[in-house]
């Protein structure tokens, strides 16, 4: 964000104001994501609290896994959606939440469901949700600032500069460097987000096996997810990194190739093969 702020300043001649503004935006967005990311993710996914009486098996599994993992029990939610999937959210174990779809509850047996829940609890225990959420927010802020800068230049650029000095000397060099940074920064931020998300997914798989002590459970669950082509209706690219597998369409339909290109998860086959080696 600071680099983008300097690039913004080099292009617009804001006298350092752009750096301060960029830093302020980054801090504000990070604080906002830290405090309210769980509520936003649950609301966007249309999650509702899981009734302990109606979803007794779900709550029993979460209770047992939390004891094994040594973390407080998170809030448990259910999403009315036939696609099997689940995600965790919350800035730390004391403010964690797990949401599962009704499709996941219908299609997974007890051992498989235990593996999925252990994976999500691992995200909470390892603070993966906090790291990934901050990465997503900052990548989004970089993209917004860069887009604003390019639009500003497109519609005439800074008006206060002397036209005779435009394009000459060090100012011109700084302007070119700034333009390059503005163009490349969103791509770099997005790649960083993907790298963080993919590494955290692999870590959660191994951590889940450490909790359940039974790799075949999670392996079988991932195989079922691999063979299922349904997508979560309430999912979006903003929350895709939270789910145990990408909730977006990657096989057919409009935008499938784009979802594959910007996938936030390692291929399920790779994750399955890695677990089989344990």
The catalytic residue positions are: 120
Asked if 81 contacts 184 with a C-beta cutoff of 8 angstroms, the reply is: no
CA 196-236-275 angle, 5° bins: 45
Q: How many angstroms separate the CA atoms of 261 and 129, rounded?
A: 22
Kindly write down the DSSP assignment for every residue of 23-90, as one continuous string: HHHHHHHHHHHHHHHHHHHHHHTT-EEPPTTTTHHHHHHHHHHHHHHT-PPPEEEEE--SS--EEEE-
Q: Which residue is listed with tokens 């399955």?
A: 272
Distance CA 269, CA 221 (A): 12
97 and 87 in contact (C-beta within 8 Å)?
no
Distances (CA, A) of 155 to 14, 85, 151, 159, 174: 17, 44, 6, 11, 20
Three-state SS at 126: coil
The residue assigned the tokens 């797990």 is 98
Cα 228 to chain centroid distance, Å, stands at: 22
């Amino acid at each position: 964000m600071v680099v983008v702020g300097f690039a913004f300043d080099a292009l617009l001649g804001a006298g350092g104001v752009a750096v301060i503004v960029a830093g302020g935006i980054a801090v504000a967005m990070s604080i906002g994501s830290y405090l309210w990311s769980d509520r936003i993710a649950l609301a966007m996914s249309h999650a509702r609290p899981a009734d302990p009486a109606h979803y007794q098996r779900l709550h029993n599994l979460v209770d047992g896994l939390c004891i094994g993992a040594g973390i407080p029990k998170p809030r448990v939610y259910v999403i009315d959606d036939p696609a099997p999937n689940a995600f965790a959210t919350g800035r730390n174990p004391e403010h964690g939440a797990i949401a599962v779809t009704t499709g996941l509850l219908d299609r997974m047996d007890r051992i498989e469901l235990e593996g999925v829940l252990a994976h999500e609890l691992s995200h909470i225990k390892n603070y993966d949700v906090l790291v990934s959420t901050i990465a997503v927010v900052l990548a989004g802020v970089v993209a917004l600032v860069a887009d604003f800068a390019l639009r500003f230049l497109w519609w005439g650029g800074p008006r206060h500069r002397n036209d005779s000095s435009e394009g000459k000397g060090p100012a011109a060099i700084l302007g070119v460097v700034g333009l390059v940074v503005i163009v490349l920064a969103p791509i770099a931020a997005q790649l960083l987000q993907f790298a963080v998300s993919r590494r955290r997914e692999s870590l959660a798989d191994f951590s889940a096996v450490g909790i359940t002590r039974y790799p075949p459970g999670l392996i079988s669950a991932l195989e079922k997810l691999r063979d299922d082509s349904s997508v979560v209706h309430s999912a979006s690219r903003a929350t895709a990194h939270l789910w145990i597998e990408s909730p977006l369409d990657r096989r057919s339909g409009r935008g499938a190739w784009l979802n594959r290109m910007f996938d936030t998860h390692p291929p399920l086959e790779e994750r399955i093969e890695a677990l089989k080696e344990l």
